[in-house]
Structure 1
Amino acid sequence: MAYKNTVLLCAGTGCSSSGSIKILKRMEELLEEKGIRDQVKVVKTGCFGLCAVGPIVVVYPEGAFYAHVKEEDTDRIVNEHIVEGKIVKDLLYKEAVTEDGEIRPFEEVPFYSKQVRIALENCGRIQAEDINDYIECAEGYKAAKKAITEMTREEVIDEIKRSGLRGRGGGGFPTGLKWQFAYNAPGDEKYVICNADEGDPGAFMDRSVLEGDAHCVFEAMMITAYAIGANHGYIYIRAEYPVAIHRLEIALEQAREAGYLGKNVMGTGFDFDIELKLGAGAFVCGEETALINSIEGKRGMPNPKPPFPANKGVWGKPTIINNVETFANIPKIILKGADWFTSIGTEKSPGTKVFALGGKIENVGLVEIPMGTPLREIVYDIGGGIPNGKAFKAVQTGGPSGGCIPAQYLDTPIDFDSLTALGSMMGSGGMIIMDEDNCMIDIAKFFLDFTVEESCGKCTPCREGTKRMLEILERISDGHGTMEDLDKLETLAETIKSTALCGLGQTAPNPVLSTLKFFRDEYIAHVVDKRCPAGTCTALLEYDITDKCIGCTKCARVCPVGAITGKVKEKHIIDIDKCIKCGACMDACPVNAIIKK
């Protein structure tokens, strides 16, 4: 039926935690009260991507983009916009209004207009918990039916190979080639696994796809299974994703009831079903063989390779493991063809890539851009730039396995090879932005501390080597480092890279190596001058009260250790020996008279 209005309401984890479910309930109550519930389609969607301004509500046909919506704003949206037909301008996202006061539709907001959405195409657009919306609004399961009924297994694999799709989980291995290995592997029993472990700090791409478009992943796994000759699949997801798990369970039940999973799917004679496996959140289980061990009920620890999972995977059978984002591209490639996919991105890195923008950036959230997009465009045009007028300093890509890219490489095209050449990597898609106030030793220490905590401990280089590197970094940030420590860091890093058992251990030194390469002057400042240029490392800080002091006594009153003395209306003094460098005095000073040295 035709609706007067369609309301898209974000119910992803971010917006839900900010109250979007309350907004949804209130809106449905109001529509019922006014007797217009049947005139308005209310769509409970997955993540819109622009998490910084949630909860988000978009009202069509105008495409009015409401941001930071509160429960009490719902009445105005319903009464003024839906009933009276007047857009509530003061609730609109700031960039949804042009300088001339014109309303800019949701799709034309710069954050979205500069993106190309393939993996995220349906997120924020379809009903997240209704298979019918996927079928009717997103060509749901057409690709699977086409693959199974119109293409041979070899043709499916060849199409994926021709597309040049590379694994979006971090390694960037050609997806079609991996499928070919599993297809060629002998055996009647094979498996397909969706890796939804996603352990990088700040990364939530896979979670958002599963929350907003679970059937797309099911369909991709079905196509994969048909291609390699499998009949059973697993989705391995961390238990910390309750919303995604809940929606997966709903989607699985709906898909089975509708005949898209189970015996004789879609009447094609092909059998395929999917089982959920919950992980405990170990970072190492993002590695293929560790994930397989966890599925089998063993401790999640990696195995030496070869054999590779495509030849000997779960239960010793040939297994294909792709991550969520990789799978999310498959149905579109089968429907639109490899030539369409290769027309996007670059020759060696076709298609798009989803990134989780975080850190010192205005538009925190998910973005999907064509491979080859310059980093500057992501940070400034899509990301909105650095808050508070601060200068861009670096970006960390690839999470704990990646490296820091400095400002001089802002015009670098983002693709697999360009990032690797700079000592970083694509990873699963984390992109943490840093400004002038970030200390690069502190950043390297943060990621290495994460790796030390998450190391499975199986191999000595990772278990012991990363711990020794962290100890050296701590020594440097405490002001006790030496120039010899820099040499030791590099030696340890290169040794771990070449001797660790799995890819996670081999890439663990990247944050240290990249910061040593591009920000060596900061290391030297810490070691030689005993100074942190960014004013972050507490042990190297000194607070000083300048002549701007007006003697208001606020700093003395908040100091927890009584390190500040002085009379009213006279300049105060900090006793450096007593000062614990907590920064409370600086925060309290009304005239910014206190500085860090």
Structure 2
Amino acid sequence: MTVTVERGESSPEKLLAPVLSSFWDESQSWTMETYLRHDGYEGMRRALAMAPDDVIALVKDSGLRGRGGAGFPTGMKWQFIPQGDGKPHYLVVNADESEPGTCKDIPLLFANPHALIEGMVIACHAIRSQHAFIYLRGEVVPVLRRLHEAVREAYEAGYLGKADARRQKLGLADLPDLEITVHAGAGAYICGEETALLDSLEGRRGQPRLRPPFPAVAGLYACPTVVNNVESIASVPAILTKGNEWFRSMGSEKSPGFTLYSLSGHVAAPGQYEGPLGITLRQLLDMSGGIRPGHRLKFWTPGGSSTPLLTEEHLDVPLDYEGVGAAGSMLGTKALQCFDETTCVVRAVTRWTEFYAHESCGKCTPCREGTYWLVQLLRDIEAGKGRMEDLAKLADIADNINGKSFCALGDGAASPIFSSLKYFKEEYEQHITGGGCPFDPAKSTVWADDPSSTHLGVTA
């Protein structure tokens, strides 16, 4: 059984904190009927009875930080929206989850889309917006259909739509129109970057914008815009329902609350594990059966392939923004990809770099040219054609990309280069001196002896 954990509790059975995932295993968990049985839309009702600025203050005081990677305080982002400017305000939810290893928003939308919709209604009230958008990764058609149906149910219930219908259904006198548009992207990873996403929504090619101006001042259609991750917005209703004190009882002082950890790779039971910020990979592995039998952990990513990889010595690093940052990486999207000793680091980094080279939009030279040449060098090294001086060249090219691109794609491409050279330089050298990769790819496949072992991970 799982329970919400207070700070200081560490026994395995008390580590998980299912909130967003508390009823994913119920039949028809995605429907309005199921959601209402679990206090659905209660937070919305409380928020709509409050002044917009009070809602912002409450979310700000809760300490909720963005769950999309950067960890920026959600309430503070809402507060940046200028008021009394005479322009329409927009809320845009970034559901373009495309990074290798990241897989939390799509399961959340598939199993519990109304948590997002309720959070959007609250956020729109807070920032005084009458039109919100969900930018969804276009390849996930089943999720798109389920999201459309959830939005339809919300319109039918009067939570969305014209002002008169909303006032009548909700019994509140002062409610404006509220529309939600679901938009499916065309499969470009770069559109996960917030300004490229906005360009794509406007019908243009998805490429990052120069900043300033920032989206809070000139975002969608040059109007004040808040761009939030799915999990960030979906976490808001529980805060309105149960309060800041409850939310802050989980996690750490600077990183409070619950979050979804996506555990994948060479683990016995991959899946979504919802727990308080600050638990460790060792604790998550204890609950999930550990690394596949007969093997040991070699390296892992704390937040997807764009975060610097860590090793077995970091098993006890607190998985919150400060703890992972102090270890030299980033918490990112909490995509915990685990690789055992059968995995070739050079091969893994090469595959990730190929992805970034393919997905680079080409707008800025450091990323466009740098990722291409990183791939060429890595392929040569993996094939046994590399030279020792190529290692210094790899680091130099990565340094010329890192921090010198329009968006964080360049930084993400450089991260695995820097970290793998830091922890596994001998393995790179072995590829060069040994004339190729010493690892057998057949032994490095993800363990899937029992297909039923893959589960949501919401109970222990």
Relative to the length of structure 1, the TM-score reads 0.69
Distance 2:84 2:417 in 1: 39
Shift of 1:106: 9.3
Is the counterpart of residue 485 in structure 1 residue 390 in structure 2?
A: yes
Distance 2:270 2:346 in 1: 24
Deviations 1:264-313 (A, max 9, x none): 33243322121110101111111000110111111111111111111111
What is the match of residue 365 of structure 2?
460
Structure 1 residues 422 and 530 mapped into 2: Cα distance closer, same or farther (>3 Å)? Answer: farther
Q: 1:199 maps to which residue?
A: 98
Equivalent in the alignment of 1:394: 299
Instruction: Show the 5 A alignment for 1:437-516.
Output: 437-516=342-421
After the TM superposition, which residues 187-336 of structure 1 pair with which residues of structure 2 at under 5 Å, given as runs?
A: 187-264=86-163, 265=166, 266-268=170-172, 269-270=174-175, 271-336=177-242
Task: Give the equivalent residue in structure 1 for 2:22.
Answer: 121
Give the match for residue 339 of structure 2. 434
Q: Which residue of 2 aligns with 1:26?
A: none
Matched, 1:518 2:399: no
Query: C-alpha separation between the residues in 1 aligned to 2:295 and 2:30?
Result: 41
Shift of 1:476: 1.1
Distance 1:153 1:272 in 2: 15
Question: Contact 2:343/2:439 (CA < 8 Å) preserved in 1?
Answer: yes
Distance 2:124 2:19 in 1: 21
SS at match of 2:322: helix
What are the ranges of 5 or more consecutive residues in structure 1 without an aligned counterpart? 1-104, 539-597
Task: State the Cα distance separating 1:320 from its structure 2 match.
Answer: 0.8
Q: Is the 8 A contact 1:344 1:352 kept in 2?
A: yes
Contact (CA 8 Å) 1:477, 1:537: kept in 2 or not? Answer: no
Q: CA offset at residue 111 of structure 1?
A: 8.9
Q: CA deviation at 1:116?
A: 0.8
Cα distance in 2 for partners of 1:177, 1:255 equals 27
Greater relative CO (CA pairs within 8 A, separation 6+): 2
Query: CA separation in 1, counterparts of 2:336 and 2:316?
Result: 15
Alpha-carbon distance in structure 2 between the residues aligned to 1:142 and 1:428: 28
The 1:433/1:470 distance shift into structure 2, 3 A limit, reads same
Native 8 Å contact 1:457 1:463 kept in 2 = yes
Q: Give the aligned length.
A: 430
Cα 1:308/1:441, change in 2 over 3 Å = same
Kindly provide the CA deviation profile for residues 326-378 of structure 1, in whole angstroms up to 9, marking residues without a partner as x: 11110011111222211211111111221221110110111112111122111
**1:148 maps to which residue?**
48
Q: Larger deviation: 313-322 or 529-538?
A: 529-538
- Contact 1:360/1:386 (8 A) holds in 2: yes
Q: Which amino acid aligns with 1:148?
A: L
CA 1:398–1:185 in 2, change beyond 3 Å: closer, same or farther?
Answer: farther
Deviation at 1:417, TM superposition (A): 2.4
Q: Say whether residues 1:385 and 2:290 are aligned partners.
A: yes
Instruction: Work out whether residues 361 and 385 of structure 1, in 8 Å CA contact, stay in contact via their aligned partners in 2.
Output: yes
**Residues 115-154 of structure 1: CA distance to partner in whole angstroms, max 9, x if unpaired?**
112232332236334312211x1111111111111x2111
- Verify the 8 A CA contact 1:284 1:301 in the aligned structure 2: yes
Q: Mapping of 1:345-384 within 5 angstroms? A: 345-379=251-285, 381-384=286-289
Report the equivalent of 1:172.
71
The 3-state SS of whatever aligns with 1:482 is coil
* CA distance, structure 1, for counterparts of residue 392 and residue 83 of structure 2: 47
Counterpart of 1:509 in 2: which secondary structure? helix
- 8 Å Cα contact 2:87/2:224 also seen in 1: no
Moved over 4 A (4+): 110-113, 535-538
Does structure 2 conserve the Cα–Cα contact (< 8 Å) formed by 1:141 and 1:219?
A: yes
> Any unmatched runs of 5+ in structure 2?
4-10, 444-460
Q: Compute the displacement of 1:529 (Å).
A: 4.0
Preserved CA contact (<8 Å) 2:381 2:436:
no
Retained in 1: the 8 A contact 2:20–2:112?
no
**Cα separation, 2, equivalents of 1:334 and 1:506:** 36
Shift of 1:114: 3.5
How far apart, in 1, do the equivalents of 2:440 and 2:39 lie? 54
Report if aligned partners of 1:117, 1:369 keep a CA contact under 8 Å in 2.
yes
CA distance in 2, matches of 1:504, 1:436: 28
Aligned residue runs from structure 1 range 99-110, under 5 A: none
| Matched residue, 2:447 | none
Check the 8 A contact 1:361/1:433 in 2, yes or no: yes
Q: What TM-score, normalized by structure 2, do the two folds share?
A: 0.89
Counterparts in 2 of 1:402 and 1:307: CA distance versus 1, 3 Å:
same
Contact 2:12 2:283 in 1 (8 A): no
CA distance in 2, matches of 1:143, 1:419: 32
- What root-mean-square deviation, in Å, do the aligned CA atoms of Structure 1 and Structure 2 show? 2.2
Letter in 2 for 1:186: D
